[in-house]
Each structure stands twice: as structure tokens, then as C-alpha cells.
A and B are shown apart, each in its own frame.
Chain A
Amino acid sequence: METQGTLLPLLVALIPWPPFIAFGLIALFTNRWKRLSHTLAILSVAISFVLSQIVFWTAIRTEHLGEHPIAIRIPWLPVGPRPLEFGVLVDPLGAVMLFMVPLVSLMIFIYSVGYMAGDPHYSRFFALLSLFEAAMLLLVVADNLLMLFIGWEVMGFCSYALIGFWYRKPSAYRAAVKAFMTTRVGDVLMLLGIAYLYAQTGTLNFHDILRNPETLKTLAETPSYVAGLSVAALASLLLFAGTVGKSAQFPLHVWLPDAMEGPTPVSAMIHAATMVSAGVYTTIRMFPLLQAGQHGLGGETAFWVVALIGAFTAFMAATMGVAQNDIKRVLAYSTISQLGYMLAAVGIGAYVAAAFHLITHAFFKALLFLGSGSVIHAVEHGHHHAGHGHGQEEPFDPNDMFNMGGLARRMPVTFWTFVAGGLALAGFPLITAGFWSKDEILGEAFHGAFEKGELLPLLVFLLLAAAAILTGFYTMRQIALTFLGEPRTPAAAHADESPGSMIFPLVFLAFFALFGGFVGVPEGFPGLAALTGGNWFHEFVGGTLLEHPESLPFNPVPVGISSLIALTGLLLGWVVYARRPLAAGEPDPLARLGPLYTFLKNRWYIDDLYHVLFVRPTLWLAERAVAFFMDRVVIDGLLHGIADAVWSMGSALRLFDRVVVNGIGDGIGEAVKAAGRELRTLQTGLVQNYLLVVVLGVLGFIVLYTVAPMLRGF
């Protein structure tokens, strides 16, 4: 592998460090000075951002970047036949991530200054957010799976700490623990996948494994002895388990909605732009391994698993999102759903489309989360202004959309940027980024389903199309409930536009949410393709793979269908919620669906099911079966039994000693003396015998010393 000088790779290696150092400085020294803490944090991300931009703009001008990525490595764990090396790698996929991550994070950091103002643990917040940023950047520049896993886990920890940031609230710390434990299920399987891959190949380096046809071929042809899969397929699936946890896919999706307990910037950072995307990023990264398995043993099993989990999650989460009243929870479900889109795309081989949607989604979802934060912030303040929040009164939920309404006039910037984000999420045709990336996924599925006639893309297409309609619907529902009509509470009536540090990031992100998609307009799209210079994204990111994936030509049918789907959803939402906005106290029109509504609102009862199936049995096993029965009753019971037996034997011997030995002893005393003379010859300095006597003496002493307390103790 060639490296392009050493300066650029070293620059890449520097990228994760500034936030890490900022974390250390804030945690150890600047805790007490809030302004200094946030300055340090923002400055550190700004430095990483500038470095990343330099690397990105150099990278996109580099010919054959996929073949000759920006890379450097050093030995990290010098053991075994070949030291495990750590290093950095920027290939086209990494480059676009490097463009997106620091940019979005920088906006979130700036936004947090306004949002978190006045929080007693302000500095702690910026310390954790910085550590989080460092971990994400480490993951993006990592050139191997173990380093990626380090970033992955540190992010998991920060996510835990930030979700539970308001640690006094039971719902917050419960959500934190739930997030940590649920993602850990995936993580331990992922660790096995890493160990498996290393055991088979002797390396964890992406370039060495994923761009080496012989390695891939061997992995695809070696049986794994599990379910008839090849090593490549099984390793992919183990790694994919990590993604299922981290990107909140069914069946490990349950943690993400609860994670909304964290401060809103955290939701934007972790649950939109970075951590959950890191899960999808890893699956995209390992795509060649997944693909290799396709032609080997077990065939397309791995692809099926990935595609169906993704598509099913996209659909399931969209249905749940429809029935939520918490403004952030709607976004949480929509995140789960959109991540499902990306994974479904990977599962049908639409590698570039998945990466494209990953990037556009990061922009518009961060925008939506920050916008919802702006709304919550305003409603909370409005609540205080309206004369509440001082005495004892019934709790007021500033996240509940039914407590809002009419905010469009009070907060115009938040409103218009939120609409931009919402339309991008729903895939509003042509003028939003989300349209182009979602269209590419649906187009690929359509191509596979109707032009090649394959079953899997057909299933994916149907599920994703259904999800897309629901997406349009809940997006419009959210916009209407929050911003349109008249205020339904005094709090909403007193809400005011957020400060500049919060508004600026919204406007900035809105730009990308609308126009970011123009880097990926399909070839041959009438008018626009010529205007935007064709599908740059596909050309560039496709170069990551050994074989450049073919770009689908423009086909008006899927584009028309996906436009129609998006508009249908939005229109439905409009009809139900916006045409005649709800008044205060009016029930959700959806409640008319009856049991179906209850089912959706209760998240298909999956959380309750898990509680009965996993949480309670685990606690029972821990407390009753292992800690009590196994250790206290069985093992200690056995030990005490032995101790009692020895004790009784000792008592019996003492009796024997007194009655029998002493009785006869005097008589044979002389005989012993005679024997003693003989035995004296044994005293040849056998030190071990002396030692034995010493040990037994000590033992006897100890037994004596403890007889009294023991008798008292039992």
C-alpha cells in the first residue's frame, strides 16, 4: 500500500486529538469556569474541523484514492507472529464522513452554548461531548476494526453518560442503563466477529482485508461450521450484530426512543449525526466482506439478514413514530426508520446509496433535532413566563406536541428551518437532499425487483415504500401539531425565538438539508444532471470498492413513484392535521384507529415483552439462582458440611485421646522412649519436615485463636 507522503497521514492522525485533549483539560482543570470550558470544547472541534476540511479537499482531488488511500500505521500490540498495527486510513468513504462529522458536530457544539446555558453541570456536558467527538473522529479515521471498536465503545460510554446527564431523574438514568445494556448485546457479538476475522486472516486492517481479492476469496470459501455459512458471511453477521445494537435496529432498537431523555444537543449529536451513523458506517465499511460471502458458502443469507432487518425496522419504526406525542420521540423513531433504509440499501447491494443517505440524513436529522430543541427550549421558557414553574402544580411536559401549536409565528426561523428538515426527511421531490438519497435507494430496490425480477429487492421496495408514506405522514403531523394553528397552552403562547447561537446552526444545517443532495443527482436526470455535474458522489465513493459499482441510469418510473409516495404521505398528514389544526384539549384524530393506535403507541409492546423475557429472568437468575442458591446453599453448604465433619472427627479423636490413649499411654511410655532413640536418626536436617511442623503449628494456633469467636459467630 502506498502512502502519499507522511505529512497528510499525520494530519489525519491528529484529527481526533484536539477534542480528546479538550476533554482532559475540562475534566481536570477548567471545570469551574463555564465560559472557558465551552471555548476550549468549541475551539478543539474547530481545529479538528479545519484539519478534516484540508484532508477532505485534498482527498477528493486525489486520483485512485480507493487504491492508494491516505494511510499510515504503527505497531500497537507487539505480540504474536505479527504485531497488531494501528493507523489511519482515508479512502473515499472515509473522506465524505470526514466532511460531514466535524461539520455537523461543530454546529451542535455552538448550539449547545445557548441550549445548556444555566445548567449546573455545564462544563461536564462539554467535557463529555468533547470525548464523544474524539471517539467518533477516531472511528472515522481508524484503519482497522479494533481501533474502530475503541471509538465505538467510548462513544457508547459517552452516550450512556449523556443520556443520563440529568442523573437525578429516574427516567434519565434508566434510559442510560437501557442504552448501555442494549447496545452491549451487539457489542459483545461484534467483539467475537473481530476475534474471528483476526484469527482467520491475521490482520484487522480494512485495506488488507477488504481490498485483497485472495483474502476475500479464502474467507468466502472457508466453511464456518455454523448454519452452513462461510467465514466471510458469519464474520459479517457478527459484526452486523454490533450495528444492530448501535444503530438501534430491530430487535435491539428499544433503547433509542428512551435515550431522548438526554439534553437535545446530545440527541442531535449521538442519535442523528454520529453514533448511530457509526453503526451503519461500519456495515458499509465491511460491505466487501458481506459481498464476498454472497458467492461463497451459504450464498446470500447474510445479505438477506441485513436487508430484511433494515427494511423491517424502517417500516416498524415508522409505524411507531406515527403515534408519538413527544416531539423528540417522533424524531427518534424516524431516525431508527431512516437507519433501516440505509441498512436495507446495503443488504440489496446499493452500497453508494446507503452511504449517500447516511450523509444527507446526518444533516437533516441533526437539523430536526436541533429545531425540536429550539422549540422545547422556547416552550419551557414560555412556561416560566406564563407564570408557572414556581410552585407546586401539575407537571408540564414541554416535549409534548399537544402542548404546542401556533409556534410558526412566534419562532419563524425555527419554523422554516424545521420545515426544510422535515421535507428533506419526507423526501420532498427535487429541492431537498433527502429526496435524492432516498430516491437512489428506492431506485436500486426497484431496479432489482422489477428489472432483474429478484425477490429480496421486491420485499425491500414494498417495505420501504410503505415506510416512506408513513414518514411523510408523521412529518406533516409533527409540523402541524407544533407550528400551525393556535397555541394550545399559555406556554406555547409565550414562547419566543431562541438566541442567535442556536439559530445560526439551524440555518447553516438547513442549507445542507436542502442542497446537499445535488452532489448525487443521477446521470441523465433531465436538466439537473447537467447543471450539477452528474453523480459526483457515486463516482467518488464508489471508488472505495475494488470494483467500481455501476451507476443506475436515470429511470423516470422509480423517480416518479418515490416522488408520489413522499407527496402522498405529506398530503395525508396535511389532510388530517393541518387543514383544520387541532384546538386545545382536542384528542388526536388517530385515536379513532382504536386498538391499532394503542398498539402503535405502546411500541408494539416490544419493550414490555423484553422486560418479561429478559430483564426479570436475568435478575432472578442473578439474585436467587446464582448468588444465593449456587454459592450460598450448594457450594458453601458443602464447605460447611466438610468443616462440620472435620470438627466432629476432631472431637471424637479428642475423646479417643483422653480415654484410650491416655489410659494406655502411661503403660507404653517406656516403649515410646525406646522408639524415640531410634527415631532420632531421622533428624538429618530435613527442613521440609520442620516446616510441616511449623505450618501445622501455625494452623493449630490459628484454630485455637479463633475457636472462641467462631463459637460466638455461629
Chain B
Amino acid sequence: MTLFGYPIPILTLITFIPLLGAGVIALTPRDSVRLHRGLAFSFSLIPLILSVWLWLNFDLSRPGFQFVERVVWFPQVNASYYLGVDGLSIMLIFLTALLTPLGVLISFNITEDPRTYFALFLALETGILGVFVSLDLLLFFLFWELGLVPMYFLINNWGAPERRHYAALKFILYTMAGSLGLLLGIQLIWAALGGVQGGTFDLLEVSRRWPALQGTLAGVPMEVVKAIVFWAFVIAFAIKVPVWPFHTWLPDAHTEAPTAGSMILAGILLKLGAYGFLRIVFPLFPAESARFAIALALLATAAIIFGAYAALGQRDFKRLVAYSSVNHMGFVVLGIAVAGYALGNPAIRDHARIAVNGAALQLFAHGLSSAAMFALVGVVYDRTHTRDLEAYGGLWTRMPVYGGILIYCAMASVGLPGLAGFVAEYMVVQGAWPVFTALTALAMLGLLITGAFIMKAIQKVLHGSLNPRWARLPEMSSREILAVAPLMVFMLLTGLWPAWIVPTLDAALRGLFG
């Protein structure tokens, strides 16, 4: 696309328009709340429209990255402002751009300093989108960190009053601990590739040169350097996903965050970890990935099973939903583990391709269903000011529309065929079964318990006779319905006709296996 003969930097626009919006909001008067809401919503719609355009104009038949933008950034260290997208990042950009306006919509009831809130919310979007478009490791890291800070403040200042400081600190310290390793790893790669003489942060060039690199770095054998970088990356991304047992920050952060914050956390921020595995770890460390894939599959199975049991054990509605993310992201990790294994075992590539596409589709499906579930938890929390499952009861009588929507989204979460989650989970199970047979069979226990905790949630909230405390509860408002409806449409579309999205993912993921 060009304008007056100049190419339009579409990825830059998508990435930075939210930040621009944040700036504009920050300049508005403090108490014009309607203006803050309007501006935030409008600015969040622009990336959505642009991302749809991006998807429609993405050429599936061309391998590699498209819409590439490249400008020299720090010539001394050979870092550049290097953007580009493939099918995987397009899907995640779309998901981000879709969830942000919905999150803004759900946040219209924020009363405490909405100006700062919406500005931070939009800044968060820029940080996330930046990660998905970056093809330069340094830039990747910059955006990675940029996303953390607004989220920290969203939890710390707008979270549920009881434990928000603890949750925010746990979130930021845990993720920072991972990030420091990430930074170290990126620097080691740069140094090993030649430092000021030939070192680079260009992800594509690194992927070509790094796996075959021999020799020493400052006297240390390259094998050791590689191992350090590998584990630094793996731990950083594993915390983010989160891979069991690095998951305990998640229930705290998700539960204490404001509703829209939980939507973004579960819907997108978790995906950064999986994205890191697919985008960075696998291309850079095929041999190491294959070697440790079984361990990863084991942790994935643990996440699926223990995540489900932990969710079943909750009394707090939001914590239950938060733990369901641990369970669902376990399927993502299982699919990724199969792909990792296939990097060293070409015989199983056909299975791995199904599994890794399933993992990517699960990112999308879970983005939809978890965001919707958190929005719905928010709806009852706003009305009842409690998250205690035992305190609800019979709400269906007062809120029939809410009840219908909750059951629909809960079924998407449980993986009911016809909705998105099933296709993804089926693909992961299909791909994983021939490779990690016993673990896949074990994971079925988790799938069983998934049903149990979803049933528990529906029953405690909706069923039974109406608790007299809630006799005057108002029905879900149109604004709240509007914030969930688009997600429901995509759940159904993807469940009935996955062919609209899977080829886009496959275009990016089949490249993993050469």
C-alpha cells in the first residue's frame, strides 16, 4: 500500500497508534470521563481495522515475512528497527487488536482516575503488538519490557483491593526475573556472533548463523554458551506461558487485576511466552529443543492435570477461571513440545505439524474464551462485589441472558465441539498421541476434570434457587453484551469452519520444519 508514492508503514502504524492514543488521552482534562472513554475506544479500533486489512492483504502463498519495514537503529551494534509479520504473528496481532477495544468497553465503569487507566491500557497494547511485529531481538526485548510496566500499574492501582499489591509485585518480579535472562541471552548471542564485528540482532540472520556456530566466547566453549542462552530463553518464556511449575504468579495476577486487565493478561500476555518458543527458541535451538522436548511435554501434561485439579479446588470464581488458563495453556505447550521433538526427529513431522498448528489455534481459541470468561466474571463481580462461588446461586433467574452467554463461553472453555477450543485441542491431541502416547493419555484426565470445574462454576453461579441477597440484580447491559459478543462469534466461526484461520497459521508454522 502506498500513499503519494511512498510505502505506508502499516506495522508501525498498528503498533504505535495506541501509544499515540495514550498520549492524546494524557493531554485531556482530568475529569472529562466520557472523552477518555471515547478516545480510548476510538484509538483501539484503528489497529483492529488495520489488522483486518493486514490479514486480508497477507499473501499466503509467499513464504517468509511480509510488510517488512527496516530502518537502521543503532549502527554501532548493528541493531535495526526491523518489523515484519508471518501468519502466526498476524493471528496474534488480530487477537490483540480485537481484545483491546473489548477491554476498553468493559472498562467504561472505571471511576478511579480513568484518564491514567485508559492511557496505560493503550500503552500496554503497543508493547504487546510490538513484540509480535519485531524481527530484531533488541527491539523484541524492548517491547517485551514495555508491556510489563503498564500491566504492573493496572494491577497495582486498579486491582481488587485485598491483595493487589502482592499480586502486582509477584507478577512484575517473576516476569522481570525471566526478562533479565532474556536480555543476557540476547547479549550473549550478539557477542558470540562477533560483537561489534559482525554481531547482529536480526532474528532471521541469527537463525541462519547461530545454530551452526562453533568456537569459543571469551574462552568458554560455544556449547556452554548455547546451553546458557537456551535455558535463559526457555525460563523467560516458560514463566510467561506459564509452564508448570512456574505458574503461581498467574492465579494471583489474574484474580487481582481489573477485569479488562485479566482479559488482556489471559487473552494475550500469556501468548507471548508461546510465541517466544515458536519464534525464537525453536529456530535458534533446534537440537536443544528436540533433546528437551520430552521434559517440556511432561510439564505440559502436569499443567493440564494439576491446572484442572487446582481450578476445581477453588472457591473464588475468578481464581477458578484463572487456573483454567494453566490447564488450557498446557495444551499449547504440549503441541509446542511435539514440534520441538520433531526438530530432531523428521519422521514425525506430519504429526508435529498438526500438533503445532493446534497449539497456535489454541492460542487463538483460549484468547477468545478466557477473555470472555474474565469479562463475564467481571459482570457478576461488578454487581455483587464478591467472587465467592458459595455466595452466588440461582443468578440465572435474575439474569437469563447472562446465564445463556456464560454457559456458551464456559462450553467454549471446556472444548465443546462446534466451538473454537475443541478444534485446537483435538489437533494437539491428534498430533501428540503418536509421539507422546502415554502423556497424551494422561492428559485426558485433565480434560475430564476441565469438565468438572466448568460444571462447578456454572452450577454455583446460575443453578439452584435465587439467593435473596441478589433479588434486585440487574441483567447484563448492552455494553457488556457487546464486549463479549464478538468473541462468541469467532468461537463459533472457528469451531464450525477452522479453515478460515488454519492455513494462515500453517503458512508460518510449516516453515519450522524446513
Interface residues of A (CB under 8 A from B): 27, 75-81, 146, 149-150, 152-154, 157, 161, 164, 167-168, 170, 173, 177, 180-181, 184-185, 188-189, 191-192, 194-196, 198-199, 618-619, 621-628, 630-631, 635-636, 639, 643, 684-688, 691-692, 695, 698-699, 702, 705-706, 709-710, 712-713
Contacts and interface: CB of A to CB of B under 8 A. Distances in A.
B411 A157 contact: yes
B33 interface: no
Interface stretch (B292-300, B372-380, B441-449, B468-476): B441-449
Interface residues of B, number: 83
A688 B190 contact: yes
A635 B169 contact: no
B274 interface: no
B248 A79 contact: no
A622 B310 contact: yes
A691 B142 contact: yes
Given A79-B427, A691-B142, A699-B176, A154 B502 contact: no
A688 B138 contact: yes
A122 to B, nearest CB: 13
20 contacts: A27-B404, A76-B499, A78-B502, A79-B354, A79-B427, A79-B502, A164-B463, A167-B396, A167-B462, A622-B312, A622-B453, A623-B312, A627-B309, A684-B196, A686-B76, A688-B77, A695-B183, A698-B145, A706-B169, A713-B163
Interface stretch (B46-54, B223-231, B417-425): B417-425
B344 interface: no
B85 interface: no
Contacts of A180: 451, 455
Counting chain B CB atoms within 10 Å of each CB, which of A78, A146, A195, A713 scores highest?
Answer: A195
B364 interface: no
Contacts of A192: 429, 433, 440-441, 444
A168 B426 contact: no
A709 B165 contact: yes
A200 to B, nearest CB: 8
B417 A619 contact: no
Contacts of B354: 79-80
Contacts of A76: 497-499
B433 A195 contact: yes
B223 to A, nearest CB: 23
B451 A184 contact: yes
Contact of B452 (A168, A618, A709, A710): A618
Interface string B141-168: 1100100010010001000000101101
Contacts of A684: 76, 196
A157 B416 contact: yes
Contacts of B499: 75-78
B79 A687 contact: yes
A628 B323 CA distance: 13
Classify the secondary structure of B's interface with A: helix
Contacts of B163: 713
B207 interface: no
Contacts of A189: 444
Given A177-B455, A691-B142, 7 more contacts: A154-B416, A154-B417, A191-B426, A191-B444, A628-B313, A635-B245, A698-B149
A181 B452 contact: yes
B248 A639 contact: yes
Given A75-B499, A698-B149, A626 B306 contact: yes
Given A691-B183, A695-B180, A710 B166 contact: yes
B14 to A, nearest CB: 24
A698 B430 CA distance: 44
Nearest to A699: B176
A684 B76 CA distance: 8
A315 to B, nearest CB: 29
A170 B149 CA distance: 47
A635 B464 CA distance: 36
Given A181-B455, A618-B312, A150 B417 contact: yes
Contacts of B422: 150, 153
Contacts of A636: 248
B429 A191 contact: yes
A78 B503 contact: yes
A692 B141 CA distance: 11
Nearest to B499: A78
A198 B430 CA distance: 8
Contacts of B145: 695, 698
B506 interface: yes
A189 B451 CA distance: 14
A150 B418 contact: yes
A627 B313 contact: yes
Contact of B417 (A77, A79, A149, A199): A149
A275 to B, nearest CB: 15
Contact of B312 (A619, A702, A706, A709): A619
A686 B76 CA distance: 8
A618 B449 CA distance: 9
Contacts of B466: 168
A709 B161 CA distance: 12
Interface in B104-124: none
B183 A692 contact: yes
Which are the 4 A-B pairs with shortest beta-carbon distances?
A: A627-B313, A622-B313, A622-B312, A150-B417
A691 B173 CA distance: 17
B261 interface: no
B353 to A, nearest CB: 5
Given A167-B396, A622-B312, A161 B444 contact: no
Contacts of B284: none
B389 interface: no
Contacts of B142: 691
B421 to A, nearest CB: 12
Contacts of B434: 199
Contacts of A639: 170, 174, 248
Contacts of B76: 684-687
B168 A706 contact: yes
B172 interface: yes
B241 interface: no
A695 B165 contact: no
B186 interface: yes
A195 B248 contact: no
Nearest to B396: A167
Contacts of B350: 80-81
A687 B75 CA distance: 10
A699 B175 CA distance: 11
A77 B313 contact: no
A494 B398 CA distance: 36
B418 A154 contact: yes
Nearest to B358: A79
A479 to B, nearest CB: 36
Contacts of B172: 699, 702
B179 interface: yes
Interface string B482-514: 000000000000000111001100100000000
B74 interface: yes
Contacts of B74: 685, 687
Contacts of B357: 79
B271 interface: no
A213 B423 CA distance: 30
Contacts of B444: 188-189, 191-192
Contacts of B190: 688
A698 B455 CA distance: 43
B396 A685 contact: no
A169 B140 CA distance: 54
B314 interface: yes
A627 B305 CA distance: 12
Contacts of B418: 150, 153-154
Nearest to A127: B404
A255 to B, nearest CB: 13
B447 A168 contact: no
A643 B190 CA distance: 31
A184 B448 contact: yes
A78 B506 contact: yes
